[in-house]
């Protein structure tokens, strides 16, 4: 004990506790080293345990690593607007050459988007998300952008889309996010969006078809089609066709269709078992909002399955996801009855950040 005290290594409650005058630091690539300010020296081994360590995983979202003029690494917390030379991951270090875990990470209904994406670097990914100015689309855009992806919010209402972009930038000023006009109720707008995106000469790694209307009253689009069918399905179908060549060139790439379990309560065949096109874009007399929504979600799944069969050999996969039941979002805004029901059910609904894992895990 006297020798330990003489060496500056007094006994403590933990072998991980540093002796006086020592400081724990990290290198740019995440290795932990120890600085002895009394003797002005550094070493890789912990001064008490003799262990070598490294930090695990990426920085928490909102944090960024920088280097000062002396070449020393420091860390910027953009959310709380502060800087520190202490790596926030030091609480989660692992020993050098650890035993590889044999357990597989599992996710459930309580998993958040940030947990799903933890440790993933998406800085080389380009993502398009339709209907990304609110709800599930916005949370998806934010989560992917905070992990480095270049995210394009494809929205009809540019005012709300630009507000969504600003909200993401407030969380991380270096996020790569952009709003572009896309009105799925206009096939001309879909074509114009695809042309504008192609003019950027960038790849496309994820196309997330999220936009949808629910319980909307009957109306015809400028293309003379029932609005729910065109917005929820046909507009996305056309968008994928127009961007298919870029997806192929960007492989591995992915298309995600946000569908719904309600597709089970619909039918698009006639009494002879053949596809009935009149059911897809019905007349006002034959229209029922909930049935129209269910049919559009069934079309999403059928399209996703066929798209995956068609494009998987070329490195492009397609998945249809059900985001979960009892989600409180703005999709119910078209009819006051549904708004009332959603409001009454809100205390029992899942948070958007928890539901989002269905979309993120498909990446």
Give the pLDDT score at 1: 41
Mark out the alpha helices in 7-157 (DSSP H runs): 113-117, 135-145
Alpha carbon distance 360, 171 (integer Å) = 19
- Mark whether 328 is an active-site residue: no
The pLDDT value recorded for residue 85 is 83
Burial of 177 (0-12, 13-18, 19+ CB in 10 A): buried
**Rounded Cα distance, 89 and 26, in Å:** 10
From the list 34, 61, 293, 328, the catalytic residue is 293
Please check whether residue 352 is in contact with residue 329, taking contact to mean a CB–CB distance below 8 angstroms: yes
Range with the lowest mean pLDDT among 114-118, 201-205, 304-308?
114-118
Percent of the chain with pLDDT over 70: 79
Sheet holding 150-155, edge to edge: 176-181, 150-155, 126-130, 206-209, 253-258, 316-321
Could you tell me which residues come within 8 angstroms of residue 348 by beta carbon, excluding any fewer than 6 positions away? 326
Predicted pLDDT of residue 348? 46
Tell me how far CA of residue 24 lies from CA of 4, 31, 46, 123, 298, in angstroms. Answer: 20, 11, 9, 29, 56
Check residues 323 and 97 and name the one with the higher pLDDT: 323
Average pLDDT, the chain: 82
For residue 298, name the pLDDT band (cuts at 50, 70, 90): very high
Tens digit of each residue's pLDDT (9 = 90 or more) over 153-201: 999 999 999 999 999 999 899 999 999 999 999 999 999 999 999 999 9
Residue range 40-58: average pLDDT?
84
Across 167-210, the runs of DSSP E, i.e. the strands, are 176-181, 206-209
Retrieve residue 167's tokens.
């909200």
Distance CA 52, CA 67 (A): 23
């Amino acid at each position: 004990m006297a020798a330990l005290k003489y060496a500056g290594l007094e006994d403590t409650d933990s072998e991980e506790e540093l002796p006086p005058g020592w400081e724990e630091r990290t290198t740019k690539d995440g290795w932990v080293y120890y600085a002895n300010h009394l003797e002005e020296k550094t070493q890789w081994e912990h001064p008490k345990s003799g262990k070598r360590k490294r930090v695990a995983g990426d920085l928490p979202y909102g944090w960024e690593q920088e280097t000062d003029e002396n070449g020393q690494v420091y860390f910027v917390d953009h959310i709380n607007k502060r800087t520190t030379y202490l790596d926030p991951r030091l609480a989660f270090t692992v020993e050098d050459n650890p035993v590889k875990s044999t357990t597989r990470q599992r996710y459930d209904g309580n998993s958040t988007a940030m947990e799903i994406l933890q440790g993933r670097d998406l800085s080389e990914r380009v993502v398009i998300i339709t209907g990304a100015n609110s709800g599930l689309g916005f949370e998806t855009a934010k989560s992917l952008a905070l992990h480095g992806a270049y995210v394009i919010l494809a929205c009809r209402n540019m005012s709300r889309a630009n507000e969504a972009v600003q909200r993401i930038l407030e969380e991380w000023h270096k996020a790569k996010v952009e709003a572009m006009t896309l009105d799925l109720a206009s096939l001309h707008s879909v074509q114009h969006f695809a042309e504008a995106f192609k003019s950027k000469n960038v790849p496309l790694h994820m196309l997330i078809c999220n936009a949808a209307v629910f319980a909307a009253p009957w109306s015809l689009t400028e293309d003379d089609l029932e609005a729910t069918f065109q917005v929820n399905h046909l507009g996305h179908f056309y968008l994928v066709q127009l961007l298919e060549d870029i997806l192929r060139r960007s492989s591995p790439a992915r298309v995600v269709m946000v569908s719904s379990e309600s597709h089970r309560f619909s039918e698009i065949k006639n009494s002879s078992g053949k596809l009935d096109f009149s059911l897809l874009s019905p007349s006002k007399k034959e229209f029922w909002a909930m049935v129209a929504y269910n049919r559009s979600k069934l079309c999403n799944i059928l399209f996703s399955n066929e798209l995956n069969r068609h494009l998987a050999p070329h490195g492009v996969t397609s998945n249809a996801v059900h985001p979960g039941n009892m989600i409180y979002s703005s999709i119910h805004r078209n009819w006051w009855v549904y708004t009332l029901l959603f409001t009454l059910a809100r205390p029992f609904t899942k948070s958007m950040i928890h539901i989002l894992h269905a979309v993120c895990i498909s990446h």
